[in-house]
């Protein structure tokens, strides 16, 4: 293989993610009885189903956010669900980030060394997986090749793609496609994300937020304001924020540029860029350093990471207090942060990308924008028109309540599992 990396067999076992308990009945008040009852009904025939969720990080991005609620709720309904994350060193995650970026359409090549790193970690993961699952759900490209190392496995394998894979870079897709096609099923966020010619049965499921976790639960205004004030933000001055990984697709430097333009009209305007440092995202610190350099000495710009203790509860408070929440995504799978912000009644300006327009109806629950100038214009419009901002906020809460809360995602997931479980039964007859 190569001399630079530790390839001792067994050194890259996938790690079990330990999770707190959750109860589906706690969601009745917020999401309604109908969807919770439907989840219970679907789960009746799934009791004891052994489900493994395989992803690449337990913290710091949308997939981790989803699984940390979905898996406990599956367990609450009697499903024997487990979540493991693949482990790897920087070179593995550099390779997988290239695959991630290539899948979202960046024109990138993956070197022979990176290919072998990727496959070695996938093989190690496969070796550590015991052959007793009914369903294995593989999230995104990081563990996409695991199935290829377990050819006689009896489980049904699902590839769950969370990114916009509508126009993948041909080199990346030629590499990944044979691995993806070894799965029994593939799930995408939107129909338009299904890469052309994929030969696997597919369906789509839209993600959702957990209204009862610390990031999204109702927060009294005084506590939200106190929390934001403690971060050094001036509560007497207007604030805009973007909460996102430091990633080129989220365009944090573009947010900075839009803030500078908006400040020409609102000189007091503050900006908080909040970014979690996912361990599977080696690009983040480089982008962070660039932003830090750009805003050095600039009053009113704040840069936070989860390493500073700015995590779930603080993110909740910032989204709650901000006058405008920005999500300047250029390409986006879904963008949970948009629903998170809408759920708090925030005025939101977001990029017309991927799953964002399915959450944010332009002119009804917020504003969609295209380029930096457009973002600046939408931000200043919402700052000028607080009544409009409030109107969008109220409509946004309704939209999320009806479409993007966790029990709906659980229901859609259980429906898929029911179909898969039936086909497991068929194949065992």
Return the C-alpha torsion angle 117, 120, 123, 127, nearest 10.
-130
Q: Quick check: 283 binds ligand UDP (CB under 6 A)?
A: no
By C-alpha distance, which of 211, 219, 238 is closest to 316?
219
Q: Quick check: 62 binds ligand UDP (CB under 6 A)?
A: yes
Q: Quick check: 141 binds ligand UDP (CB under 6 A)?
A: no
Can you tell me which of 35, 99, 212, 276 binds ligand UDP, judged by CB under 6 A? 276
Q: Quick check: 409 binds ligand UDP (CB under 6 A)?
A: no
Q: Quick check: 300 binds ligand UDP (CB under 6 A)?
A: no
Sole window of 48-56, 57-65, 167-175, 258-266 interacting with ligand UDP (rule: CB under 6 A): 57-65
Give the H or E element holding residue 402: helix 386-403
DSSP notation for 288-352: HHHHHHHHTT-TTEEEEEGGGT-SHHHHHHHHHH-SEEEE--SS-S--HHHHHHHHTT--EEEES
CB of 197 to ligand UDP, least distance (A): 25
Helix (H, G, I), strand (E, B) or coil at 129: coil
Sole window of 72-80, 109-117, 335-343, 380-388 interacting with ligand UDP (rule: CB under 6 A): 335-343
Q: Supply the Cα-derived Rg of the chain in whole angstroms.
A: 22
Sole window of 100-108, 124-132, 133-141, 334-342 interacting with ligand UDP (rule: CB under 6 A): 334-342
Q: Quick check: 140 binds ligand UDP (CB under 6 A)?
A: no
Strand partners, 203: 187
Give the H or E element holding residue 39: helix 33-44
Sole window of 60-68, 120-128, 152-160, 222-230 interacting with ligand UDP (rule: CB under 6 A): 60-68
Can you tell me which of 36, 46, 65, 372 binds ligand UDP, judged by CB under 6 A? 65
Q: Quick check: 168 binds ligand UDP (CB under 6 A)?
A: no
Q: Quick check: 243 binds ligand UDP (CB under 6 A)?
A: yes
Any residues with CB less than 8 A from the CB of 415 and at least 6 apart, and which?
A: 42
Q: Quick check: 211 binds ligand UDP (CB under 6 A)?
A: no
Q: Quick check: 58 binds ligand UDP (CB under 6 A)?
A: no
Strand partners, 304: 274
Any residues with CB less than 8 A from the CB of 360 and at least 6 apart, and which?
A: 338, 342, 348, 350, 366, 367, 368, 396
**Which tokens belong to 99?**
């695959």
Can you tell me which of 334, 343, 375, 392 binds ligand UDP, judged by CB under 6 A? 334
Give the H or E element holding residue 178: helix 170-180
Residue nearest to ligand UDP (CB): 62
Q: Quick check: 244 binds ligand UDP (CB under 6 A)?
A: yes
- What is the rounded distance in angstroms from the CA atom of residue 67 to the CA atom of residue 65? 6
Can you tell me which of 337, 369, 410, 417 binds ligand UDP, judged by CB under 6 A? 337
Q: Quick check: 219 binds ligand UDP (CB under 6 A)?
A: no
Can you tell me which of 141, 275, 354, 393 binds ligand UDP, judged by CB under 6 A? 275
Give the H or E element holding residue 136: strand 135-139
CB of 42 to ligand UDP, least distance (A): 25
Q: Quick check: 84 binds ligand UDP (CB under 6 A)?
A: no
- What is the rounded distance in angstroms from the CA atom of residue 143 to the CA atom of residue 123? 9
Any residues with CB less than 8 A from the CB of 398 and at least 6 apart, and which?
A: none
Q: Quick check: 330 binds ligand UDP (CB under 6 A)?
A: no
Can you tell me which of 79, 340, 344, 389 binds ligand UDP, judged by CB under 6 A? 340
Can you tell me which of 255, 315, 342, 410 binds ligand UDP, judged by CB under 6 A? 315
Alpha carbon distances (Å) from 336 to 36, 293, 343, 404: 21, 28, 11, 9
CB of 200 to ligand UDP, least distance (A): 23
CB of 233 to ligand UDP, least distance (A): 15
Q: Which residues bind ligand UDP (CB under 6 A)?
A: 61-62, 65, 215, 243-245, 274-276, 306, 311, 315, 334-337, 340
């Amino acid at each position: 293989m190569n001399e630079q990396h530790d390839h001792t067999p067994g050194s890259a076992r996938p790690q079990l993610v330990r999770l707190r308990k959750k109860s589906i009945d706690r969601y009745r008040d917020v999401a309604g009885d109908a969807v919770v009852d439907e989840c219970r009904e679907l789960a009746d025939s799934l009791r004891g189903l052994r489900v493994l969720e395989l992803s690449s990080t337990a913290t710091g991005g949308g997939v981790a956010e989803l699984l940390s609620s979905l898996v406990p709720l599956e367990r609450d309904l009697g499903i024997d669900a487990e979540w493991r994350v693949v482990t790897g060193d920087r070179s593995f995650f550099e390779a997988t980030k290239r695959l991630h970026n290539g899948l979202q359409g960046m024109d990138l090549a993956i070197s022979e060394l990176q290919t072998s790193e990727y496959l070695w970690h996938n093989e190690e993961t496969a070796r550590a997986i015991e052959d007793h699952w009914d369903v294995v759900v593989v999230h995104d490209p990081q563990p996409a090749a695991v199935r290829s190392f377990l050819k006689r496995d009896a489980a049904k394998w699902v590839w769950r793609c969370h990114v916009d894979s509508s126009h993948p870079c041909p080199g990346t897709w030629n590499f990944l496609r044979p691995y993806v096609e070894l799965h029994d099923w593939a799930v995408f966020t939107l129909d338009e994300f299904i890469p052309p010619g994929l030969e696997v049965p597919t369906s789509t499921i839209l993600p959702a937020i957990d209204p009862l976790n610390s990031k999204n639960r109702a927060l009294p205004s005084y506590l939200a304001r106190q929390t934001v004030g403690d971060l050094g933000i001036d509560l007497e001055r207007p604030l805009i924020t973007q909460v996102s990984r430091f990633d080129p697709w989220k365009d944090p430097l573009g947010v900075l540029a839009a803030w500078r333009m908006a400040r020409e009209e609102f000189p007091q305007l503050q900006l908080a860029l909040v970014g979690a440092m996912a361990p599977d995202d080696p690009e983040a610190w480089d982008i962070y350093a660039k932003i830090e350099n750009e805003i050095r000495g600039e009053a009113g710009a704040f840069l936070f990471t989860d390493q500073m203790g700015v995590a779930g509860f603080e993110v909740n408070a910032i989204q709650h207090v901000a006058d405008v929440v920005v999500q300047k995504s250029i390409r986006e799978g879904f963008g949970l942060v948009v629903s998170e912000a809408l759920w708090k009644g925030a005025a939101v300006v977001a990029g017309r990308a991927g799953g964002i327009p399915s959450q944010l109806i332009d002119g009804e629950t917020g504003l969609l924008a295209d380029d930096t100038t457009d973002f600046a214009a939408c931000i200043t419009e919402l700052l000028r028109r607080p009544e409009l901002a409030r109107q969008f906020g109220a409509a946004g809460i309704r939209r999320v309540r009806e479409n993007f809360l966790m029990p709906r995602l659980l229901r859609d997931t259980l429906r898929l599992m029911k179909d898969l479980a039936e086909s497991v039964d068929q194949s065992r007859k």
